[in-house]
Amino acid sequence: MAWSKTHQGKKLIRFTLSSVITTGVSAVAILIVYGDHIITGIIGATLFGNLLATIPSYYLSRAWAWGKRGRSHVRKEVLPYLMMSFAGIAFSLFGAIYTKHLVHTHHWSHFTDTLVVEGVNVLSFAIFWVLKVLLFNKIFHTDKLHAIEVHLEEEEQSGSR
């Protein structure tokens, strides 16, 4: 419990919550476009859902989890983020290819197919989650002394209430 109140703890919790939110965005998008036959292909639906989720993922991670404000630095922030996100999307596409094989082999109902597509997509991104935490912490590093001062000020304010 005490760790969750530290700067690092709060940052990891916020990153986790932003990942949950953007995984939800991806899952809902896939559910809609694949489940309602808007995009009939598993690979296309997976790609669409994950590309769509990349946009809120970047902004939530940058602003909420790492506390960065102002203009994004293209070379130091945007490009590494996109490269890592595209690696995660590529991995999820390999999962989608495997899922396509499963779907065509087992002749499940479209409802079951949709659940399998969703499950494999979430699993694919869960595998990348730890790597993203480590990498994005480096990309969006903040001044450690400033972070410590902010944390101490928050503790003082919450202690005086």
Residue 110 lies in a domain: yes
What is the per-residue pLDDT for 42?
95
Cβ atoms of 140 and 62 within 8 Å: the answer is: yes
Residue 5 lies in a domain: no
What is the per-residue pLDDT for 90?
92
Query: Rounded to 5 degrees, what are φ and ψ at 72?
Result: -75, 145
* pLDDT tens-digit readout, 122-139: 988 888 777 766 776 666
pLDDT averaged over every residue in the chain: 84
What is the per-residue pLDDT for 130?
72
Residue 138 lies in a domain: yes
Residue 36 lies in a domain: yes
Burial of 120 (0-12, 13-18, 19+ CB in 10 A): buried
What is the per-residue pLDDT for 40?
92
Residue 2 lies in a domain: no
Distance, CA of 137 to CA of 129 (rounded, Å): 12
* pLDDT tens-digit readout, 62-108: 888 778 888 988 998 899 889 988 988 998 999 999 999 999 999 89
Residue 30 lies in a domain: yes
Residue 3 lies in a domain: no
CA 110 remoteness from chain centre? 26
* pLDDT tens-digit readout, 37-60: 999 999 999 999 999 999 999 998
* pLDDT tens-digit readout, 134-156: 776 666 655 555 555 666 666 66
Cβ atoms of 140 and 65 within 8 Å: the answer is: yes
pTM of the model as a whole: 0.75
Neighbouring residues of 48: CB distance < 8 A, sequence distance ≥ 6: 29, 30, 33, 39
What is the per-residue pLDDT for 47?
96
What range defines the domain where residue 37 resides?
Answer: 11-156
Distance, CA of 16 to CA of 34 (rounded, Å): 26
Residue 75 lies in a domain: yes
What is the DSSP code string of 12-52?
HHHHHHHHHHHHHHHHHHHHHHHHTTSS--HHHHHHHHHHH
Structurally, the chain folds into a number of domains equal to 1
**CA angle, residues 105, 108, 113, in degrees to nearest 5:** 95
What is the per-residue pLDDT for 148?
59
What is the per-residue pLDDT for 44?
96
* pLDDT tens-digit readout, 100-117: 999 999 989 999 999 999
